[in-house]
Structure 1
Amino acid sequence: MSHTMELADLGGLLRQVAAQDRHAFKSLYSATSAKLFGIILRILKDRDLASDALQETYIKVWQNAGTYDAGQSRPVTWLVAVARNTAIDALRRRAPSRLVVEDEDALEQIADPLVSRLDPADRQTLRGCLKELDDVQRRCVILAYCDGYSRAELGQATGRPEATVKTWLRRGLQRLKACMERGL
């Protein structure tokens, strides 16, 4: 999507979609669906779930285009917010066990972003330390530090206030650090 398309046309397309213009909706979809799918896929990490969430996103866009306020945000920013919120809602609906990330790269990112690779013994220690955290705390730590979720996004995903998520993250990292220092 070109910058010119975004500024010149997306706002106008959203206004037309708000008036239930199906042609404008098709044009808006063509111009933005690849970008929104990429964002949703990054959050959900599952193509089928991401496809469903993309469809749900555009249903919301169709139903809520009239709420877009050009004075508040750029059109693409509004669309991305709808897509992210839809993906986070889908993430929250998923079974808790499917939210846990167990790949080695994610574990290394949590351990120390300055170290490019963890020693296999440290990786095993980190796995054990992560298991010591309760499920919600572990998911929040992994999603925050591996996938870049903000505290606000984690709050939405867990249905908890942002302050609670902040506390979970702080305590979770303290517990991980203490566990790693004692070598499990």
Structure 2
Amino acid sequence: MQARSYKMTVDQTEAMARRAALITALAACGDGDRAAFRQIYDMTAAKLFGICLRICGERQVAEDVLQEVYLIIWKRAPTYDAARGSPITWLCVIARNRALDWRRSKQAHFAAAHDEVDTGKFAEVADEAALADDALMLAQERERLHLCIDQLDDRPRAAIHSAFLDGLTYVEVAERAAVPLPTMKSLIRRALLRLRECLRDDG
């Protein structure tokens, strides 16, 4: 038991040190420090690439999207506020949003090319993105967020996993669950509000 507690303490210390280093690097990057930008890349590229690959589904595309993600990070670094959430969560939100933008663009192009635009299929997706991002940004540590997600009932938990961890659009989540899109949006909206409450209580 003592060994396990010691390991948890070591892991927590390492996580805190890594977080502090990333916050410092983002602050320096915001001031135009290219060495700090390189440090951010080295510390986070593998994780952000995994997000891009999962959403885009193609390795070459994911690599291209990842380059765009880091261009966005370079530009937005001055806006990062450590008081609002952990740096890795902030970076993951940027990667997820950019990868989803690519996928929506691909879907729209495919629909136009085949002249089969279906407003039901390619309608506005993830229109609660601001609320979702806000909920994610409230998580100071990833573990806290997952603990709160695990407290949800089966349906909302599956929907949150699909929409924000697997990177599916609201339309795709609704189709997977075989429910109308408005029903799925309402279910996810309620789940996000519960996550906010859970994260606030844990804070």
TM value normalised by structure 1: 0.56
Q: Residue 18 of structure 2: which of 3, 6, 30 is its match? A: 6
Aligned: 1:148 with 2:162? yes
Aligned: 1:36 with 2:51? no
Closer/same/farther in 2, CA of residues 60 and 97 from structure 1, 3 Å limit = closer
Q: CA RMSD in A?
A: 3.5
Q: Distance in 1 between the 2:41 and 2:63 partners?
A: 13
2:182 maps to 167
Q: Distance in 1 between the 2:110 and 2:56 partners?
A: 10
State the 1:3 CA deviation. 1.7
State the 1:149 CA deviation. 1.4
Q: Residues 101-112 of structure 1 correspond to what in structure 2 (within 5 A)?
A: none
8 A contact 1:40–1:83 mirrored in 2: yes
3-state DSSP class of the match of 1:90? Answer: helix
Moved over 6 A (4+): none
3-state DSSP class of the match of 1:95? Answer: helix
What do residues 75-97 of structure 1 show as CA deviations (whole Å, max 9, x unaligned)?
A: 10110011111111111111358
State the 1:6 CA deviation. 2.7
8 A contact 2:29–2:74 mirrored in 1: yes
What do residues 55-82 of structure 1 show as CA deviations (whole Å, max 9, x unaligned)?
A: 0000000001011000001110110011
Q: Distance in 2 between the 1:10 and 1:20 partners?
A: 15
8 A contact 1:6–1:76 mirrored in 2: no
The total of aligned residue pairs comes to 122
8 A contact 2:55–2:168 mirrored in 1: no
Q: Percent identity?
A: 34
Q: Distance in 2 between the 1:69 and 1:40 partners?
A: 24
Greater Rg, structure 1 or structure 2?
1
Give unmatched runs, 5+ long, in structure 1.
100-133, 158-164, 171-184
